[in-house]
Amino acid sequence: MINKYLQIYKECIKVSFATASTYRVNFLLSNFILLVSNILFPLVTVMIYGSGASFPNWSFYEVLLIQAIFTMSAGLAQILFNGVLWATMRYVIDGSLEIVLIKPVDSLFYLIASTISLESLGLLLGGGIMFILAIVNVGAITLLMWLQFIVLFLSGLLVMMGTSLIMAATSFKWVGNSRIPEIFDSINTFGKYPQSIFNKATSSFTAFVIPVAMVGYFPAAALLGKVNLSMYVAIIPCILFTMIGILLYKHMIHLYEGVGG
Amino acid sequence: MDTITVKNLTKTYETYKRGSGFTETVKSFFHREKVTVNAVNNVSFNVGEGEIVGILGPNGAGKSTTIKMLTGTLYPSSGEISVMGYTPHKDRTAYVNNIGAVFGQKSQLVWDIPPIDSFNMNKVIYSISDKDFKQTLDKLTELFDLKDIVGKPTRVLSLGERMKCEFIMAMLHKPKIVFLDEPTIGLDVIAKQRIREFIKEMNALGTTFILTTHDLEDVEQLAQKVIIINHGQKVFDDTLQNLQLNLGAKKIVHLVLTSPIYDNKIDGVKVIEKKSDFEYTLEVDLENKSISTFIQSLTEMCEFSDISIKELPMEKIITQIYESRV
């Protein structure tokens, strides 16, 4: 069974690449634009530090590291999960989810696999360049710190996945509302900065309720040797957040009513 | 042996009543009236193995909703469905492995890549072996004469070619039952005919087909049994022959006279259309008068240069059923 699902995923990647290569110029251009715009993304941070101001107790490269990790996580999420939101909106409006439900596989898996978007590779690459730039300037990183980083980074990806699924699930009821992602984008912004600059209520909310701190800040803290127990505790809400996303989406598929023929 | 059993199938859903015009739109922004729609209402029927069954009905009658529930992609509000021993909405993943579906207005093909890549995707999804895949694909592409087409991007194909590819997508895993929701919609006569021939060929090999359509030619050429749904309720469920007898045994007679007649009354005969004093279309009720008696009366009454006798058109039968029941 797992082998079958891996084969389907592999085939979906092939299809995604074949689709992307159909419109080569669009593919290259959108990746280039994403790459450039994301390299420019930390401009505000550059200006803050350039003017002599700073986030208290955080160096420029430390803040850049948080933002680089956030961008990489956002890039991976856009490649792997975000397509499900737009596809769901389209299917619900057209009443064409049947073409997914008619496949003898888990519908959620198939939706995620068939909406892989290679057009966001530029975002991942942009984050990667910033990450390298930050990492060579923040001091030595031990193997343990890397392992902690991987665990927390993957937990952050779970948050991104849960976010995509919750947004997609709401589009079953809140049909055609393309503003939903903007709400989550606003909340996600809290993950781009050191949590120490926020008040206690905000940092608790972003760590344990909607755990966006796990997307950028916590994995960066691991690489900077600033990790603490509460960051590991925050893995639990990340898993719960993803599970809520999966269960909610499956529930909405159950409620799906299609449209008349 | 019945392969599909449907008992008291019902699907209701709630929607909102929205007015038209600016004032109504503003009103509905603040208060919307809930409306319960009975899309399918207490429908029961059986389908035997290897049959071709046509589901007919006007727009919004509940045909597509019924077929979606039969494919397991829509949950019924109440009632029972059993297809090959499966309850479609409960055992969806295992069940859909055994069925195929073509939704005439919804494509399973990926728009920007050639159909062959979409077929390869189904090969993996349905775990079809390399050997079976090649054999079935070769056979189907040959039947549809699509060998050179399947390698071209889907977006450059004609509607007819795309529809044929949709059929291949649905048939690659050799399903026992295939559901077709308006499979010939928008196609030209040649493409329609090719698809009908394909359905007949597959049916001869044992595949059961359930199709919804607005094209009565589809039903006349394919269906052994017809189910008519109107306003969510089943209003007819019988063979095609019995459908034709539904309005009584009647014939349509087209008549061209050599000279006009003024006393044209024959018992059991109705004038449907009078194009001129020389040309008439008549409806003969065979329960009151046999064709030979009618011709005898006609010969005594007038002289004619041409006469044709036809069955009651299917459109008329269906229209009368749509209008008279429920």
Domain ranges within chain B, ordered by starting residue: 2-244, 250-324
Predicted pLDDT at B326: 45
**SS3 of residue A257 by DSSP:** coil
Q: In this complex, do A94 and B39 lie within 8 Å of one another by their Cβ atoms?
A: no
| pLDDT over threshold 60, residue A260 | no
Predicted pLDDT at A117: 87
Name the percent of chain B lying above pLDDT 70. 97
- Beta carbons within 10 angstroms of residue B305's beta carbon: 10
- Chain A residues closer than 8 Å to B74 by CB: 98, 256-258
Q: Does A105 lie at the interface with B, CB-CB under 8 angstroms? A: yes
Which of B31, B3, B9 lies closest to B19, judged by CA? B31
Q: Does A21 lie at the interface with B, CB-CB under 8 angstroms? A: no
Q: Does B121 lie at the interface with A, CB-CB under 8 angstroms? A: yes
Q: Does B94 lie at the interface with A, CB-CB under 8 angstroms? A: yes
Predicted pLDDT at B225: 92
* SS3 readout for chain B: CEEEEEEEEEEEEEEEECCCCHHHHHHHHHCCEEEEEEEEEEEEEEEECCCEEEEECCCCCCHHHHHHHHCCCCCCCEEEEEECCECCCCCHHHHHCCEEEEECCECCCCCCCCHHHHHHHHHHHCCCCHHHHHHHHHHHHHHHCCCCCCCCCHHHCCHHHHHHHHHHHHHCCCCCEEEEECCCCCCCHHHHHHHHHHHHHHHHCCCEEEEECCCHHHHHHHCCEEEEEECCEEEEEEEHHHHHCCCCCEEEEEEEECCCCCCCCCCCEEEEEECCCCEEEEEEECCCCCHHHHHHHHHHHCCEEEEEEEECCHHHHHHHHHHHCC
Nearest CB to A15; choose among B13, B71, B121: B121
Helix count and strand count (H, E) for chain A:
14, 0
| pLDDT over threshold 60, residue A258 | no
Measure B84 CA to nearest chain A CA, in Å.
16
Contacts for A162 with CB less than 8 Å, ≥ 6 apart = A238, A241, A242, A243, A244, A245, A246
Q: Which tokens in the block code for residue B214?
A: 């607005």
Which residue from A minimizes the CA distance to B232?
Answer: A260
Instruction: Calculate the alpha carbon distances from B297 to A115, B251, B306 in Å.
Output: 72, 16, 16
Q: In this complex, do A256 and B105 lie within 8 Å of one another by their Cβ atoms?
A: no
- Chain B residues closer than 8 Å to A94 by CB: 106
Q: Does A66 lie at the interface with B, CB-CB under 8 angstroms? A: no
Predicted ipTM?
0.82
Contacts for A105 with CB less than 8 Å, ≥ 6 apart = A4, A5, A8, B93, B125
Predicted pLDDT at A261: 44
Predicted pLDDT at A257: 60
Whether the Cβ atoms of residue B213 and residue B54 lie closer than 8 Å to each other: yes
Q: What fold does the segment set B250-324 form as a domain?
A: Alpha-Beta Plaits (3.30.70)
Q: Per residue of chain B (326 residues), give pLDDT as tens.
A: 789 999 999 998 877 776 677 777 777 777 777 888 888 999 999 999 999 999 988 888 888 899 999 999 888 999 999 999 999 988 888 999 999 999 888 888 988 899 999 999 999 999 999 999 999 999 889 888 888 888 899 999 988 889 899 999 999 999 999 999 888 887 888 888 888 998 999 999 999 999 998 888 888 889 999 999 988 899 889 988 888 776 667 888 898 988 887 766 777 788 888 888 888 888 888 877 788 888 888 888 888 899 998 877 777 777 777 776 54
Q: Does B141 lie at the interface with A, CB-CB under 8 angstroms? A: no
Nearest CB to B112; choose among A22, A97, A99: A22
Which residues is B100 bridged to in the sheet?
B178
Q: Does A106 lie at the interface with B, CB-CB under 8 angstroms? A: yes
Query: pTM for the full model?
Result: 0.83
**SS3 of residue A259 by DSSP:** coil
Name residue, tokens 């044709």: B308
Please state which CATH class domain B2-244 belongs to: alpha beta
Count interface pairs A-B at CB distance under 8 A: 85
Indicate which of B36, B63, B92 best probes the interface with A, i.e. most A CBs within 10 Å of its own CB.
Answer: B92
**SS3 of residue A141 by DSSP:** coil
Kindly state the DSSP code that residue A233 receives in the 8-state scheme: H
Predicted pLDDT at B28: 73
Residue A25: HSE in the Cβ half-sphere, 13 Å Cα cutoff = 0
Name residue, tokens 């669009």: A26
Q: In this complex, do A104 and B112 lie within 8 Å of one another by their Cβ atoms?
A: no
- Chain B residues closer than 8 Å to A96 by CB: 103, 106
Predicted pLDDT at B248: 66
Whether the Cβ atoms of residue B40 and residue B70 lie closer than 8 Å to each other: no
Whether the Cβ atoms of residue B213 and residue B56 lie closer than 8 Å to each other: yes
pLDDT in tens, A184-228: 778 888 888 888 888 888 888 888 888 899 999 999 999 999 888
Q: In this complex, do A261 and B105 lie within 8 Å of one another by their Cβ atoms?
A: yes
Q: Give the C-alpha separation, B243 to B237, whole Å.
A: 9
- Chain B residues closer than 8 Å to A11 by CB: 120-121, 124
Q: Does B165 lie at the interface with A, CB-CB under 8 angstroms? A: no
Q: Which tokens in the block code for residue B23?
A: 């004032």
Which residues is B2 bridged to in the sheet?
B48
- Chain B residues closer than 8 Å to A119 by CB: none
Which of B4, B18, B97 lies closest to B55, judged by CA? B4
Measure A113 CA to nearest chain B CA, in Å.
12
- Chain A residues closer than 8 Å to B231 by CB: none
pLDDT in tens, A143-170: 999 999 999 999 999 999 999 999 899 8
Q: Does A108 lie at the interface with B, CB-CB under 8 angstroms? A: no
Whether the Cβ atoms of residue B318 and residue B216 lie closer than 8 Å to each other: yes
Indicate which of A2, A25, A102 best probes the interface with B, i.e. most B CBs within 10 Å of its own CB.
Answer: A102
- Beta carbons within 10 angstroms of residue B28's beta carbon: 15
Measure B65 CA to nearest chain A CA, in Å.
7
Instruction: Calculate the alpha carbon distances from B153 to A115, B114, B136, B165, B166 in Å.
Output: 19, 4, 21, 12, 14
Measure A69 CA to nearest chain B CA, in Å.
33
